[in-house]
Homo-oligomer: A and B are copies of this chain.
Amino acid sequence: MTHTSGTEVVLHDATLRDGQHEVGHQMTEDQLRRYAEAADRAGVPVVEVGHGNGLGASSLQIGRARLSDAQMLDAVRPELASARMGVFMAPGWGTGSDIRAAVAAGAGVVRVAAHCTEANVTRRHLGLVRDLGVQAQTVLLMSHMAEPTELARQCALAVSYGAQAVGIMDSAGALLPGDVTARVSAIASETGVPVIFHGHNNLGLAVGNSLAAVQAGARIVDVCAQGIGAGAGNTPLEVMAAVLQRCGYETGVQVRAALAAAEVAREHLMDRAPQMDPVSIVSGLEGVFSGFRLPVLAAAEKAGVDPLEVFAELGRRRAVAGQEDLIPVAVDAVAQTAALAEPVNP
């Protein structure tokens, strides 16, 4: 058996943010409250909440959330006796005012996200977060699209802007454990701050990759109850708590209480458990953003084309998170190819 000393690992619970992707950003105040209370009771140190794409992202193109950012934060804050409340923001969707409002509403951890090669866009917002006196983090999206040294360089930039924790999101669920080890090791050795890893299960590797990340030096691991999240879902809180306990890491999360929180999620947040279905597997294989799952399925059905082909086309176009406008373009390309392949009646 693999064991390690009592190294501390933070399980950053993104259920009420990444899990929104699975329900079209439609969580109610009652759902948010019930889960936040269960997660807090399980000893989870951070509960992230918001639109699936973060502060300010609710829109017609990306998907309107049922609640405003303020409503979500106000619902969750009173339920957290010991956990800190976290928010996620990507410059472009979110703004400085969104961050100010979130911190005023009680957010204690603010994540500023950027495409994996564009940490420079986080500078101003990280400075603001530090000025506001709460924890500033940076995560790089679509991290399979950049090499370890490049990611380490980008993370070092974020640290120079004030990020107190930096790391990567496997937004397409495309990384393999060896890829994760190389990336996290490079970031850990280049920066002196805790390294974050956020996995997706599109290729069945969310837990394996998260464990590889921790063993390579990551100290903050994103989890969602039952794995609820974009694509085939995230790293399940209750499973990761058990695996880290087995390895001797300290998370402060009780496995039985995490199982109870997962049960609350199953009963109140989800229509179905996240699954590695053909769309998510091809999404992982082609390296396409997991959050495109529902919009691609809808657009492909409407146009009568194979969603797997749309994912393959988006992979060829190297579509990244935020480029939802490429979905109709890819659908058209697939439809045209299909039309060309059909026999012509004389």
Binding site for B on A (CB under 8 A): 1-2, 144, 176-179, 203-209, 211-212, 215, 227, 235-236, 238-240, 242-243, 245-247, 255-256, 259, 262-263, 273, 275-276, 278, 281-282, 284-285, 308
Least CB distance, A247 to chain B, in whole angstroms: 7
Least CB distance, A265 to chain B, in whole angstroms: 12
With A204-B239, A205-B207, A278-B259 as contacts: A245 and B285 at CB distance below 8 Å: yes
Partner of A208, one of B179, B208, B227, B238: B208
Q: Is the CB of B211 within 8 A of A144?
A: no
Residues in B whose Cβ lies below 8 Å from that of A246: 176, 203, 285
Q: Is the CB of B285 within 8 A of A177?
A: no
Least CB distance, A91 to chain B, in whole angstroms: 28
Given A2-B176, A227-B276, A242-B284, 9 more pairs with CB closer than 8 A: A1-B144, A1-B176, A176-B211, A176-B246, A177-B212, A236-B276, A238-B276, A246-B285, A259-B281
Residues in B whose Cβ lies below 8 Å from that of A239: 203-204, 276, 281
Of all chain B residues, the one with the shortest Cβ separation from A147 is: B1
Partner of A243, one of B203, B240, B243, B278: B203
Q: Is the CB of A243 within 8 A of B206?
A: no
Q: Is the CB of A177 within 8 A of B177?
A: yes
Complex CA–CA separation, A109 to B243 (angstroms): 35
Complex CA–CA separation, A338 to B60 (angstroms): 54
With A242-B284, A276-B236 as contacts: A204 and B203 at CB distance below 8 Å: no
Q: Is the CB of B177 within 8 A of A243?
A: no
